[in-house]
Amino acid sequence: MNLLKDFKNPQLAKKLSGAIAETVGDRPFSIMEVCGGQTHTIYKYKLREMLPANLRLVSGPGCPVCVTPIEYIDKAVSLGLDHGARIITFGDLMRVPGTQMSLERAAAEGVDVQPVYSPFQALEAAKANPAKEVVFLGIGFETTLPGIGLVIQQAEKAGVKNFSVLLSAKRVPPVLKAVLSSGVAEIDGFITPGHVTAIIGTKAYDTLCASYSVPMAVGGFEPIDLLGAIHVLVGELTGNGSSNLNAYTRAVSHEGNLKAQQVIKQVFEERDDELRGLGIIPKAGYGIRAEFAQHDAGQRFDIVTDSHEPKGCICGEILCGIKEPVDCPLFGSICSPDAPVGSCMVSNEGACNAAYLFKD
């Protein structure tokens, strides 16, 4: 297939939406797309409008910027303001509001903040400025973790002592388990994230499907990818199935990327961690192993924060699938992509950002 055309083919999309409607009939189902990139596609191409009214799509906690606790932003700002470190980060983290300010605002006040595309650029900056503490803001799910791990390994091997990572890395399977076990959001099936699952493999969801009797299907990021994932999911749901399915076979396997998994295992260890809106979840995050402690900014620096969420923001409930962006009293009024109040409005993977950009 032609990735630029065929996976956006409107005729094929119409056929798939018709097949979905025929399969669903009059039975109501709720399906959660986990990944923020999938959410963006759903809003951009108005896939909800192509589906029957009794089939509800719910945006989940798969946007890494959105689930990062506000305390993490406050710590990053403190590292620049109070410790004089150069802060290097992925660009979409710059505008996430902290309790007092965002990194963008901190940069305007003189903090050395540099957006980059790769963690390897942070290591090069540390090598070029050995007298300056350089901290990379390592956020994300399993997708970004192998690259961060490789950089830490390289820093250790090269003896770069002024490089460290402030880590906020999350694990998708425990997050989905928390959503399922909470019973708050009524979800019948999940579209699991394509890029994360390319790393961890579909095997990572086998136990969840069996334990909670819920079907899952890994999906890609184009309209046809997502409609295909929805189609196989509703087939499972109408047949009372709970299979762990792969609707993204061109990029994802059952075993995943074994080399990437090895790097993760070598550098990081699982730990209980906090996700915005979901609280502290057992084994939902990663910490840097003790043998790489000198590259762990959380251990190297004494960081004190007084963090709290902005008033009126319901990002937490949106991330849990309990509410929609339009349910937020701040949405589109005092909270917009140009002036975000909550994290869901900042990243282009955030549900509020997508809902705002592609609203009618």
Number of structural domains (the chain) is 2
Q: Which pLDDT score is estimated for 77?
A: 96
Higher pLDDT, 304 or 120: 120
Calculate mean pLDDT across residues 88-93: 90
pLDDT at res. 185: 77
Axis-axis angle for helices 223-238, 10-24 (nearest 10): 10
pLDDT the model gives residue 3: 62
Cβ proximity of 245 and 215 under 8 Å: yes
* Separation between Cα atoms, residue 37 and residue 258, nearest integer Å: 24
Residue 207 has pLDDT above 90, yes or no: yes
What's the one-letter identity of residue 16?
L
- For the stretch 169-194, pLDDT in tens is 999 999 999 999 987 778 999 999 99
Residue 3: other Cβ atoms inside 10 A? 10
Determine the pLDDT at residue 208: 97
> pTM for this one?
0.92
The verdict on 266 and 336 lying in the same domain is no
Q: Which helix (H) or strand (E) holds 90?
A: strand 86-90
Q: Are 239 and 189 in contact (CB under 8 A)?
A: no
Among candidate residues 307, 311, 313, the one with its CA nearest the CA of residue 277: 313
Asked if residue 143 and residue 96 are part of one domain, the reply reads yes
Q: Is the pLDDT of residue 244 over 70?
A: yes
Could you tell me if residue 348 is inside a domain?
yes
Core vs surface per residue 317-339: b (16+ CB within 10 A) or e: bbbbbbbbbeebebbeeebbbee
| pLDDT tens track for 18-31 | 999 999 999 999 99
Regarding predicted confidence, which is higher, 184 or 15?
15
pLDDT of residue 2: 63
Q: Report pLDDT for 309.
A: 84
Asked whether residue 212 is domain-assigned, the answer is no
Instruction: For residues 282 and 344, state if they share a domain.
Output: no
CA atoms within 13 A of residue 236's CA, in its CB half-sphere: 25
- Residue 340 resides in a domain: yes
Q: Quick one: what percent of the chain has pLDDT higher than 90?
A: 84
pLDDT given at position 4: 62
Structural domain for 330, as ranges: 315-357
What is the pLDDT at residue 279? 87
Tell me the average pLDDT of the chain. Answer: 94
For the residues 187-208, what does the mean pLDDT come to? 97
Residues 77 and 112 in one domain: yes
Q: Is residue 219 part of a domain?
A: no
The C-alpha atoms of residue 76 and residue 68 are separated, in whole angstroms, by 12
In a domain, 59, yes or no: no
Residues 102 and 148 in one domain: yes
The pLDDT of residue 1 is above 70: no
pLDDT band at 161 (very low <50, low <70, confident <90, very high): very high
**Is 282 part of any domain?**
yes
Report residue 277's pLDDT band, with 50, 70 and 90 as the boundaries.
Answer: confident
Q: For residue 195, tell me if it sits in a domain.
A: no
Within a domain: residue 157?
Answer: yes
Residue 45, pLDDT score: 94
Q: How confident is the model at residue 310 (pLDDT cuts 50, 70, 90)?
A: confident
- Residues 273, 353 within the same domain: no
User: Within this chain, do residues 348 and 274 fall inside the same structural domain, yes or no?
Assistant: no
What burial class does residue 101 get, using C-beta atoms within 10 Å of its C-beta: 0-12 exposed, 13-18 middle, 19+ buried? middle
Helices 258-267 and 145-158: crossing angle in degrees, nearest 10, is 60
**CATH number of residue 288's parent domain:** 3.40.50.11740
Percent pLDDT > 70 in the chain is: 99
Indicate whether 260 and 352 sit together in one domain: no
Confidence of residue 351 (pLDDT cuts 50, 70, 90): very high
- Together in a domain, 331 and 289: no
